Structure 1
Amino acid sequence: MSQTAILAAILAEREARWNMRREFAAKHGQPVLSLTLNIPGADKNPAGSAEAFASLQQCLRHTIEQNCGHAGCMLAEKERTGVDGPCWIASVNLAPLALKTLCVAVEEEHPLGRLADADVLDAQGQPVNRAGIGHEARRCFLCEAPASLCRRQGKHSPEQIVDYARKLLKHARHEGHR
């Protein structure tokens, strides 16, 4: 498959996932959590990604259930894996800002959290971002600058970024983060 075809497939999958999240919000009338992996490069399913995803999903589920305060936190769930990697979408019976706060805690505290991309939509299907809970933007894999700034400025080579992510994935495979 050519790079152009791979990119087109990834973009199509991301659009389908976005639509699925919005449908979950509309159908269930609750905030929606979407967990994916932040894997740089064209291969979004490299060795270790399944283990990393399972570990992050388990941690996030446990964190939500511990902090939910009532039975039935997860109203509906769907998992899928495709060219853009694994994805878990859940309708969660929890206030959107509280849910985002829990997601950010996992992203920042879990050993593989830098690979996590835990997005939250409110019940109306609108994104809840880090700024909404008083957090700064995600940091670069390699330095303390905001990731979006490093990307725009091209501060690091694609090889350096991919190498960092592959090291985390190797850690997931060998350290048994489950």
Structure 2
Amino acid sequence: MACESGHLVSLPDGYAAVVFQGPEVALPDMLAARERRVDSLRAMLAAARQNEALLCLTLSIPGPVKTSPVLERVFDELVCAAESELADVAVRERCRTNDATGPEYYALVELPAHELKLRMVGIEEGHPLGRLGDLDVLARADDMPGQAAVNSISRRDLGLPLRRCLICGGEAKACARSRAHTVEEMQARIATIIEQGGYSQP
């Protein structure tokens, strides 16, 4: 069970170090990975049919370490949760990458984008590890002839509450913009969520 927002729980000494025992990546690496991700999204959206939406699943991990054996297990659990949620619909294409900049999972799903987003928000809010993942949903914007523009479906589009900060419970994006919490605080909180969810072993 995920721990209550806003309360740090003590962990065994060194546990966060185990969670984040992985390769460090620099800002240029992350920027290059973001560009590659956008290219991948555009390519998959270009092949999408009118009744399909694109799921992009990544981890939301602060700091220079974006993957490790423990974090890979967290990602595996979220992928399994997403695929279980989509067991009743057609998934025409799947793609997964495992790079030092963090694992990524893409799926073209035969669902209206807003319905797919609702299902993925259910995972983000209801799964023990859901708060550690970004389950983004994108659809084609056909107002640009010859180009598949990336049209991201937000919680705001659905009238849903915004994501909350793992530490203070405030708006997550606002805390990230203001750097309200240190990387070390965020890593400790993430380690707590993983440990309390029973996913502490790779």
TM-score range, shorter chain: 0.7 to 0.9
Amino acid in structure 1 at the alignment position of 2:68: P
Within the alignment, does 1:85 sit opposite 2:102 as a pair?
yes
After TM superposition, the score normalised by the length of structure 1 is 0.87
Aligned to 1:63: 85
| Moved segments of 4+, more than 6 Å | none
Which protein is bigger by CA-based radius of gyration?
A: 2
Over the matched positions of the two proteins, sequence identity in percent amounts to: 29
Q: CA offsets per residue over residues 98-132 of structure 1, 9 Å max, x none?
A: 00000100000000001110011113331111111
Where 1:48 maps in the other structure, the secondary structure is helix
User: CA offsets per residue over residues 31-82 of structure 1, 9 Å max, x none?
Assistant: 110001111111000341111111110011111224x3xxxx1111110011
Matches within 5 A, 1:1-178: 6-29=26-49, 30-66=52-88, 68=89, 73-124=90-141, 125-170=150-195, 171-174=198-201
In 2: Cα distance, 1:35 partner to 1:57 partner: 8
Which stretches in structure 1 are left out of the alignment for 5+ residues? none
Question: Across the two proteins, how many residue pairs are aligned to each other?
Answer: 167
Conservation of the 8 A alpha-carbon contact between 1:13 and 1:82: no
Would the alpha carbon gap of residues 150 and 33 (structure 1) be closer, same or farther in structure 2, given more than 3 Å must change? same
Structure 2 unmatched runs, 5+? 1-23, 142-149
Question: What is the root-mean-square deviation in Å for CA atoms of aligned residues?
Answer: 1.7
CA distance in 2, matches of 1:64, 1:112: 18
Q: Per residue, is there more helix in 1 or in 2?
A: 1
What amino acid is the match of 1:159? E
